[in-house]
Amino acid sequence: MTRSPIDIEPRRPSPIPGAHGLEGVTPRETLTGQPVVVNDAFIQSLERVCASVDVDDNSRRDYARDWWPLGMVWATTGHVARMPAAVARPRSVDEVAAVLRLANDAGVPVTAAGGRSGVLGNSLPVFGGVVLDLTQLSGITDLRGDDLTVDVMAGTFGDDFEAALQKQDYTAGHWPQSMKLATVGGWIACSGAGQMSTRYGTMADITKGVTVVLADGRVVETSEYSHSSTGPDMTQLFVGSEGTLGVIVSARLHIHKKAEYSESGAWAFDSFDEGADAIRRFSQRGARPAVVRLYDATESRRNFDTRDQHILLIHDEGDPAIVAGIMAVVREECDGKLSDKALVDRWLDNRNSVHALDDLILDRAPDTMEITAPWSRLARIYHDATAAMMAVDGTRTATAHISHAYPGSAGLYFMFGGRPELEDRPRWYREVWNAGARSVLANGGNLAHHHGVGLQRARLMGEALGSGLDLLQSVKDALDPNGILNPGKLGLSNPFGPTPDWADKAAPQA
């Protein structure tokens, strides 16, 4: 049952849409504030401790962007948020530690990056410095079937990792839409949630341990068994930390036997609230099918060509007896409002497609906002937040679906878009996000369900966490006293200056 190790060839991150606007130009930076000055002597020292360091314009330009939609818009006029001084690609934990020691001593910011599929500017080097590309740390170092546990390097891409597990008849059960774009380290650092999280859990549930390099180069391990009572869980400190507390170099994850059996069903409700309540009822009876997705009428029409119906898709997999029991509970609570099961197959076939996003993002300015809503306030949050976003000048559509269900709450995923002029988009993005997020917070929801905070939501962290942000700052100050790790993120203060307000100046001109 033990397989150790399994090689997985390292890959470079996938290209990010919108790059054509940057071809052949020296990009201009949009962010306020100044990057930290990095001198030649530092770069030479960096090259001595890390085998692969790029300082050419092309590499620095690439790592000045991630999948944040506003960054793609900026790129069309030859702009990026901020260029790093260098991109370092360590090939070992020792190299990661050496880079961090060097940067810590010199006071140079270091921003960890995996696939750069973050959609909120999470891996942007806000104050310049070094981007630490972890994608060369790839592979499974240990797979223990009896313990349903795998040790995996942080830079392993999601699709390669899952394929390697499936070959051994296991699955991690983590299926983000960005499976091919993202790395295991990025999954943990953003506290991600896959499409099957209702059965398999989010990365907070799946992650049982991490090996982390701290800002001063110390390497710490936090691995634990399924449950322990040996003080607070240090692993969870790094889940969702977005590279601000340490650099994750490997992780111990909980895995499952690959499912041999599955069942699906689709239901149609007359209102979103009615469908949501059915999910609440079956979740509270203990039914946790892998996929739970309720689309409001607009999204149902867009995805399935239905009219005035709110479509619920359910798909479960695993042991036949358990799946049959769960589906029986789902059927009872959905009360006979059966729709066409083929809709589930259609969704399953297309669920990881990202091919049309390039044109769509530039044409219609779509963006998404995922939050967690307690069941008692979910209907209100859905109605008020979509109305608040629609009220912003330039918005054409604001819709939502439930994509993750828990006994006490659900993950609500808003999709919105408009056709503001290119130069008006920073204003529009900011206003629509402020309107939506503040409406959710005012009604008792949270700021983020699974995309993290990044640069985009940093300004809202004080409103969302209150005194919890002070506690987080204390942890940050203790682990990273020089503030070098991904400064400008999570609403944390740092020595390099205030977090840039990404829409506080005139829109960039071509």
Ligand X SMILES: Cc1cc2nc3c(=O)[nH]c(=O)nc-3n(C[C@H](O)[C@H](O)[C@H](O)COP(=O)(O)OP(=O)(O)OC[C@H]3O[C@@H](n4cnc5c(N)ncnc54)[C@H](O)[C@@H]3O)c2cc1C
- 124 part of the interface to ligand X, by CB under 6 A: no
Catalytic residue among 63, 200, 295, 413: 413
Q: How many residues bind ligand X (CB under 6 A)?
A: 39
91 Cβ contact partners less than 8 Å away, ≥ 6 residues apart = 51, 52, 136, 137
Contacting range for ligand X; rule: CB under 6 A; set: 140-148, 175-183, 306-314, 424-432:
175-183
One residue of 30, 111, 235, 439 binding ligand X per CB under 6 A: 111
Cα–Cα distance measured from residue 130 to residue 103, given in angstroms and rounded to the nearest whole number? 8
Cα–Cα distance measured from residue 122 to residue 489, given in angstroms and rounded to the nearest whole number? 7
**Minimum distance from CB of 329 to ligand X (Å)?**
25
Of residues 334 and 415, the one with the C-beta less far from ligand X: 415
Contacting range for ligand X; rule: CB under 6 A; set: 108-116, 324-332, 341-349, 359-367:
108-116
Q: What single-letter DSSP state applies at residue 191?
A: T
Q: What binding mask, one character per residue, do residues 136-155 give for ligand X by CB under 6 A, x or -? A: ------------------x-
- 455 part of the interface to ligand X, by CB under 6 A: no
- 116 part of the interface to ligand X, by CB under 6 A: yes
The residue sitting closest to ligand X, measured at its beta carbon, is 186
Cα–Cα distance measured from residue 20 to residue 52, given in angstroms and rounded to the nearest whole number? 26
Contacting range for ligand X; rule: CB under 6 A; set: 72-80, 109-117, 255-263, 492-500:
109-117
- 420 part of the interface to ligand X, by CB under 6 A: no
**Minimum distance from CB of 452 to ligand X (Å)?**
6
Cα–Cα distance measured from residue 445 to residue 380, given in angstroms and rounded to the nearest whole number? 10
Q: Residues within the annotated binding site?
A: 242-248
Q: What binding mask, one character per residue, do residues 368-407 give for ligand X by CB under 6 A, x or -? A: ----------------------------------------
**Minimum distance from CB of 210 to ligand X (Å)?**
9
Contacting range for ligand X; rule: CB under 6 A; set: 190-198, 326-334, 383-391, 468-476:
190-198
Cα–Cα distance measured from residue 137 to residue 115, given in angstroms and rounded to the nearest whole number? 12
Handedness of CA 204, 415, 118, 428 (dihedral sign): negative
Q: What binding mask, one character per residue, do residues 193-212 give for ligand X by CB under 6 A, x or -? A: xx------------------
- 112 part of the interface to ligand X, by CB under 6 A: yes
- 247 part of the interface to ligand X, by CB under 6 A: yes
**Minimum distance from CB of 307 to ligand X (Å)?**
28
Distances (CA, A) of 508 to 31, 121, 427, 503, 505: 10, 17, 12, 10, 9
Helix (H, G, I), strand (E, B) or coil at 205: helix
One residue of 113, 268, 313, 415 binding ligand X per CB under 6 A: 113
- Name the token pair of 508: 């960039």
One residue of 75, 103, 134, 206 binding ligand X per CB under 6 A: 134
Amino acid at 302: R
Cα–Cα distance measured from residue 474 to residue 215, given in angstroms and rounded to the nearest whole number? 15
- 183 part of the interface to ligand X, by CB under 6 A: yes
Handedness of CA 359, 27, 487, 154 (dihedral sign): positive
Of residues 91 and 383, the one with the C-beta less far from ligand X: 91
113 close to 181: Cβ distance less than 8 angstroms: no
- 90 part of the interface to ligand X, by CB under 6 A: no
Of residues 271 and 352, the one with the C-beta less far from ligand X: 352
Of residues 128 and 185, the one with the C-beta less far from ligand X: 185
- Name the token pair of 191: 């506290």
298 close to 342: Cβ distance less than 8 angstroms: no
The two beta strands, 86-88 and 53-54, are antiparallel
- 250 part of the interface to ligand X, by CB under 6 A: no
Contacting ligand X within 461-490 (CB under 6 A): 486, 489
Q: Is 429 marked active-site?
A: no
Cα–Cα distance measured from residue 14 to residue 25, given in angstroms and rounded to the nearest whole number? 21
Cα–Cα distance measured from residue 385 to residue 467, given in angstroms and rounded to the nearest whole number? 25
Contacting range for ligand X; rule: CB under 6 A; set: 40-48, 172-180, 327-335, 376-384:
172-180
Distances (CA, A) of 466 to 8, 34, 471, 472, 495: 42, 28, 10, 11, 22
- 117 part of the interface to ligand X, by CB under 6 A: yes
Contacting range for ligand X; rule: CB under 6 A; set: 44-52, 81-89, 178-186, 262-270:
178-186
36 close to 107: Cβ distance less than 8 angstroms: yes
- 114 part of the interface to ligand X, by CB under 6 A: yes
One residue of 64, 106, 130, 189 binding ligand X per CB under 6 A: 189
14 burial (CB, 10 Å; 0-12 / 13-18 / 19+) is middle
Contacting ligand X within 284-303 (CB under 6 A): none
Note the helical H segments in 290-443.
297-304, 320-334, 342-350, 357-364, 375-390, 425-442
- 186 part of the interface to ligand X, by CB under 6 A: yes
Q: Residues within the annotated binding site for FAD?
A: 242-248
Of residues 404 and 427, the one with the C-beta less far from ligand X: 404
Distances (CA, A) of 224 to 126, 151, 188, 232: 34, 12, 16, 11
The DSSP line for 16-78 is PTTGGGGTTS-PEE-SSS-PPP--HHHHHHHHHH-S-EE-SHHHHHHTT--S-HHHHHHHHTT
Q: Which sequence positions are flagged as catalytic?
A: 413
Q: Which residues bind ligand X (CB under 6 A)?
A: 66-67, 111-119, 122-123, 134, 154, 176-178, 181-183, 185-187, 189-190, 192-194, 242-243, 247-248, 354, 450-452, 486, 489
